[in-house]
């Protein structure tokens, strides 16, 4: 199997109190994906600080991480990332979007992203893929940890919504054969999620904090989703 070079587009920094134990978001994705396929080479580009590859073809595929920011924030680095996503789409470059990345793809390509009136999406989300494509396993049910306030309200016109829940109707999308996005976090371990909720406890308030922990008791399918991502990236 040939080596696959993946550019991780880093859009946030893990809180200083958590990074010694859990690492940065690219570390989480490297661990997740490398355990699925040991022929991957992951290279980080800190796009929050305008760091990009010299050439779009320096790597085979890209992945946009999660972030505390909103894709509709009028920040120069966010505007630049949206343009880079449009370039990736124009050239049919493989791209994975996770949480903020899922929202960025929608935002950049003509969809609509807003802060959800329903409030925080927290805990484990249970869903089923509706795609009939060959990159995923026959067992298409999956659970992922969620941590978001913004949601994709309208997908880009050419996107297929391939997973949904009542709380988050646009949970995952596929655009043709080169873009795949998820609102959930396959890179989050249960221990990181619990530590993150503890840090956000004051912001969330005790009632929502308790619900966030209670809602995270179900099993998660990080390994399954990681396999789907790798299969999608390797599919010709």
- Write the CB contacts of 39 (distance below 8 Å, at least 6 apart in sequence): 1, 2, 3, 4
The count of residues in the chain is 236
- Residues pairing with 227 in the sheet: none
Average pLDDT over residues 88-102: 99
Task: Identify whether 194 is a catalytic site residue.
Answer: no
Please determine, for residue 149, whether its predicted confidence score (pLDDT) is greater than 90: yes
How far CA 234 is from CA of 32, 125, 214, in Å, comes to 16, 26, 37
> What pLDDT was estimated at residue 174?
97
Average pLDDT over residues 223-234: 96
Give the Cα separation of 127 and 165 in Å (integer).
6
- Domains of the chain, first to last: 4-114+151-188+222-234 (3.40.50.880)
Q: Out of 99, 107, 148, 173, which one is annotated catalytic?
A: 99
Please determine, for residue 139, whether its predicted confidence score (pLDDT) is greater than 90: no
> What pLDDT was estimated at residue 133?
79
The pLDDT tens digits of the residues spanning 164-205 come to 999 999 999 999 999 999 999 999 999 999 999 999 999 999
92-129 per-residue burial string, b: 16 or more CB within 10 A, e: under 16: ebbbbbbbbbbbbbbbbbebebeebeeebbbbbbebeb
Angle at 25 between CA 168 and CA 83, to 5 degrees: 70
> What pLDDT was estimated at residue 177?
94
Average pLDDT over residues 133-158: 91
- Write the CB contacts of 5 (distance below 8 Å, at least 6 apart in sequence): 40, 41, 42, 43, 58, 59, 60, 61
Please determine, for residue 1, whether its predicted confidence score (pLDDT) is greater than 80: no
The pLDDT tens digits of the residues spanning 31-87 come to 999 999 999 999 999 999 999 999 999 999 999 999 999 999 999 999 999 999 999
Q: Out of 24, 102, 107, 187, which one is annotated catalytic?
A: 187
Give the Cα separation of 35 and 227 in Å (integer).
9
Phi, psi of 214 (to 5 degrees): -65, -40
Please determine, for residue 137, whether its predicted confidence score (pLDDT) is greater than 80: no
- SS3 of residue 188 by DSSP: coil
- Write the CB contacts of 75 (distance below 8 Å, at least 6 apart in sequence): 69
Average pLDDT, the chain: 96
> What pLDDT was estimated at residue 135?
86
> What pLDDT was estimated at residue 88?
99
Angle at 123 between CA 143 and CA 7, to 5 degrees: 65
Please determine, for residue 126, whether its predicted confidence score (pLDDT) is greater than 90: yes
Task: Identify whether 185 is a catalytic site residue.
Answer: yes
Count the Cβ atoms, other than its own, within 10 Å of residue 204. Answer: 18
Calculate what percentage of the chain has a pLDDT beyond 70: 100
């Amino acid at each position: 199997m040939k080596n696959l070079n993946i550019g991780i587009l880093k859009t946030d920094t893990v809180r200083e109190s958590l990074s010694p134990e859990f690492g940065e978001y690219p570390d989480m994705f490297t661990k997740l994906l490398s355990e699925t396929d040991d022929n991957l080479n992951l290279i980080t580009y800190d796009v929050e600080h305008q760091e990009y590859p010299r050439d779009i073809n320096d790597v085979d595929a890209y992945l946009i991480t999660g972030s505390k920011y909103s894709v509709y924030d009028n920040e120069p680095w966010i505007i630049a990332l949206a343009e880079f996503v449009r370039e990736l789409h124009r050239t049919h470059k493989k791209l994975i979007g996770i949480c903020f990345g899922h929202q960025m793809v929608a935002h950049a390509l003509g969809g609509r992203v807003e802060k959800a009136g329903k409030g925080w999406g927290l805990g484990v989300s249970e869903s089923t893929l509706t795609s009939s494509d060959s990159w995923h396993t026959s067992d298409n049910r999956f659970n992922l940890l969620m941590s978001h306030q913004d949601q994709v309200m309208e997908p880009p016109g050419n996107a297929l919504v391939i997973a949904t829940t009542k709380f988050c109707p646009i949970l995952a999308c596929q655009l043709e054969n080169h873009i795949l996005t998820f609102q959930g976090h396959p890179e989050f371990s249960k221990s990181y999620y619990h530590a993150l909720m503890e840090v956000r406890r004051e912001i969330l308030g005790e009632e929502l904090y308790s619900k966030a922990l209670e809602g995270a008791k179900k099993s998660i399918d990080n390994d399954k989703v990681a396999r789907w991502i790798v299969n999608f990236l390797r599919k010709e």
